[in-house]
Amino acid sequence: MKVIEHIAKAKKSLFSFEILPPLRGHDIQDIFSTLDPLMEFCPPFIDVTYHREEFLYVEKENGLLQRKKISRRPGTVGICAAIMNKYGVDAVPHLICGGFSKQMTENALIDLNFLGIDNVLVLRGDPIKSEKSFIAPKNGHKYAVELVKQVNDLNLGKYLDTTFLEKKEFPLFDFCIGVAGYPEKHLEAPNMESDLFFLKKKVEAGANYIVTQMFFDNKKFFSFVKKCRSEGISVPIIPGIKPISSKKQLNSLPSRFYLNIPNELVQEVEKAKNKKNVSHIGIEWAIHQSKELKNSGAEVIHYYTMDRPENIYKIVQAIY
């Protein structure tokens, strides 16, 4: 079922969450051990992130460095299939621009369609760690809106190249397309107005719903939704929540994601005597956020697990 169909049929706020594929060398049981406790709350869909390749420099016997490409977290498509098979829950694979040509993207979408996967979350993705800014792959996409358009083209039966295909008419795909939204603007956007302009372009290109980046001040989310609606963006907007779990995140999260952490939360975390106390503070803050969002009519609350399902379990247990 599509994400927007789950939303339309729901009689209360839904709960969803995002997981990371396990590191190379681990197995699917790592995923199941993360999911099993959270399935108690009947999430209608689960996001599975996609992590692009990285480049490492390995010293050779002659002392020279060799550039080596490695994927640390492969398996997004396989994990989605496993989730749907084991739990009967819709899986939402992330689809990114980085590392994919247009043809590779089309092939991936065909695979997803064959598996009966109805939803994709379309993102530009991060630059490779060794690059200062995002560089589009050869014959690939530079912006998420271009990727949205390609997915929507397949929904309309438009393939990249039909010259070698026997048929003249092709079966329509039916992907529900999610995109990212940024309550405090994207890190690279010059201002919020510009960010909203490009978000609207993604919706006009075929996006069916929006999931926001994490935020710690609900007023930022409410303001973002109001601005979206004033710009004519009418699709569902799902708030994304992540609990603080370490003091280091007070600096790392704002610098990496361009977000503000309320001073009240900062002061509480800084006073914490140990990591367990920090985790408790983060959970309580997220519970407060979630209750307010739910009471305000949020259709879905989406949680970023970041390989810490026990924190999400405690939050959702208090809310749902």
Lookup: tokens for 2: 């599509």
169 Cβ partners below 8 Å, 6+ apart? Answer: 157
The structure's pTM equals 0.94
Centre a 10 Å sphere on the Cβ of residue 169 and count the other Cβ atoms it contains: 7
In 57-191, which residue ranges form alpha helices assigned H by DSSP? 76-87, 102-114, 144-155
Q: What's the pLDDT at 131?
A: 77
Q: What's the pLDDT at 319?
A: 95
Q: Tokens 């609990």 sit at which residue?
A: 243
User: Which residues of the chain form beta strands (DSSP E)?
Assistant: 14-19, 45-48, 54-59, 65-70, 90-96, 119-123, 176-181, 209-214, 237-241, 300-304
63 Cβ partners below 8 Å, 6+ apart? Answer: none
Q: Tokens 């970023």 sit at which residue?
A: 304
Lookup: tokens for 30: 């790592």
How far, in Å, CA of 126 to CA of 133, rounded?
8
- Positive or negative: CA dihedral 145, 149, 155, 156: positive
- Quick check: helix, strand or coil at residue 280? helix
Q: What's the pLDDT at 128?
A: 81
- pLDDT per residue as tens, the chain (320 positions): 999 999 999 999 999 999 999 999 998 999 999 999 999 999 999 999 998 776 666 667 777 767 667 788 889 999 999 999 999 999 999 999 999 999 999 999 999 999 999 999 999 998 887 778 888 889 999 999 999 999 999 999 999 988 877 777 777 899 999 999 999 999 999 999 999 999 999 999 999 999 999 999 999 999 999 999 999 999 999 999 999 999 999 999 999 999 999 999 999 999 999 999 999 999 999 999 999 999 999 999 999 998 789 999 999 999 99
Lookup: tokens for 49: 């992130």
In what helix (H) or strand (E) does residue 22 lie, and over which residues does it extend? none
Lookup: tokens for 119: 């939803």
Closest CA to 301 of 225, 244, 240, 242: 240
270 Cβ partners below 8 Å, 6+ apart? Answer: 247, 250
Closest CA to 282 of 243, 246, 312, 249: 243
Q: What's the pLDDT at 280?
A: 97
Q: What's the pLDDT at 274?
A: 96
Q: Tokens 């690059």 sit at which residue?
A: 131
